[in-house]
Amino acid sequence: MNEVPSTLFFESVVRNEQRGFFLVDALAARFTYLSRDAWRQKILNGVVTLNGEVASPETIVQAKDKIVYRVDDYAEPEVPTHFETLYRDDDFLILSKPAGIPVHHTGRIFYNTFTGVVRRAFQNDEISPMHRLDRDTGGIMVLAMNADTLKRFEKSLEHILLRKLYLCVVRGSFPEGETVCELPLAEDPQHKIRIKMFPRENGKPCKTVFRKVAEFRENIGDIEAPFSVVEAELFTGRKHQIRAHLASLGHPIVGDKLYDFDGSFYLKLVEGPLSENDFRILGAHTQMLFAYRAQIAIPGKNSEWFMAANFPEEMRQVVQKIPQKWF
């Protein structure tokens, strides 16, 4: 069902600000992963059509024109495509996403996004996530089953998704009890990794509450013990909030390529795949962060706690050591 087809068609609509552009310039401005010369050659090779017709690079485009780009011998990295269904009705879908698959398309993955996998599984092209999780983060997500539900409830999601709790495996001995972190976060435009979030006075207000669950004195990969299992509850929903807060507290998440080791493994991944030795140094193939519990109030029904336990294997080996009474 999720085998990537060898030929894929990418569709786009010309934006209003690109009307009057040459076709080649509209593509080069919009899709910068190829150079202008590369797009020109694609058009000359006949793999780009405009409104269903083969066009020349100098064809003038108008707003709302339809461009289709055909890619032959298409391939993309393998990702986990299994998921757990926790709830389903005519309007809402609650699933547990596996770690390692992006919710939306990335520079390398267009077909096997989580959204695409779910739409194909339920044979419903209107299914849409109402929020997102990072590619390497697994766990509970709420999705709308149709466009009308998305439109009606997307901006009031806080009345549906009432509480979100995550389990994290972090480096070091985390403080006992409850730790409240309210460091404001923002990107640093001067930093070599532009997407990374840092505590900054002019950052967006954030609040995360951490509760220590357990501590273990066994190495994970090449990471020396101790390490801690921590529950994190979000009270704001900023980008990378849990990861950035934990790193700022001196307890980065095991397997976090961006917030541990000064982001060196994230930069390495940009250039190509990581090695098994890299993953041993990181401690895991995917970061040990999982949205495992959520209190959700489906409109017209009482709120209910949902729980997911399809942890990635490396994290599962840690979590299974936690005393069951804690759950």
Catalytic residues: 134
Q: In this predicted structure, what is the pLDDT of residue 97?
A: 97
Q: What is the largest CA-CA distance in the chain?
A: 68
CA distance 224 to 205: 34
Q: In this predicted structure, what is the pLDDT of residue 1?
A: 52
Q: Is 176 exposed, middle or buried, given 0-12, 13-18 or 19+ CB atoms closer than 10 A?
A: exposed
Q: At what angle do helices 36-44 and 23-30 cross, to 10 degrees?
A: 130
pLDDT tens track for 127-172: 999 999 999 999 999 999 999 999 999 999 999 999 999 999 999 9
Name the average pLDDT for the chain. 94
Cα torsion angle, 318, 323, 325, 326, sign: negative
Q: In this predicted structure, what is the pLDDT of residue 182?
A: 98
Q: Is 165 helix (H, G, I), strand (E, B) or coil?
A: strand
**239 band by pLDDT with thresholds 50, 70 and 90:** very high
Domain 8-71, second-level architecture: Roll (3.10)
CA distance 172 to 96: 28
Q: In this predicted structure, what is the pLDDT of residue 326?
A: 66
CA distance 74 to 57: 23
Please say whether the beta carbons of 77 and 108 come within 8 A. Answer: yes
Q: In this predicted structure, what is the pLDDT of residue 85?
A: 98
pLDDT tens track for 266-321: 999 988 889 999 999 999 999 999 999 999 999 999 999 999 999 999 999 999 99
| Average pLDDT value for residue range 183-187 | 96
Is 76's pLDDT higher than 90?
Answer: no
Q: In this predicted structure, what is the pLDDT of residue 245?
A: 98
Beta bridge partners of 128: 144
Q: Where are the domains of the chain?
A: 8-71, 84-326
User: What is the dotted CATH code of the domain comprising 84-326?
Assistant: 3.30.2350.10
Q: In this predicted structure, what is the pLDDT of residue 327?
A: 62
pLDDT tens track for 2-59: 788 888 888 899 999 999 999 999 999 988 878 999 999 999 999 999 999 999 999 9
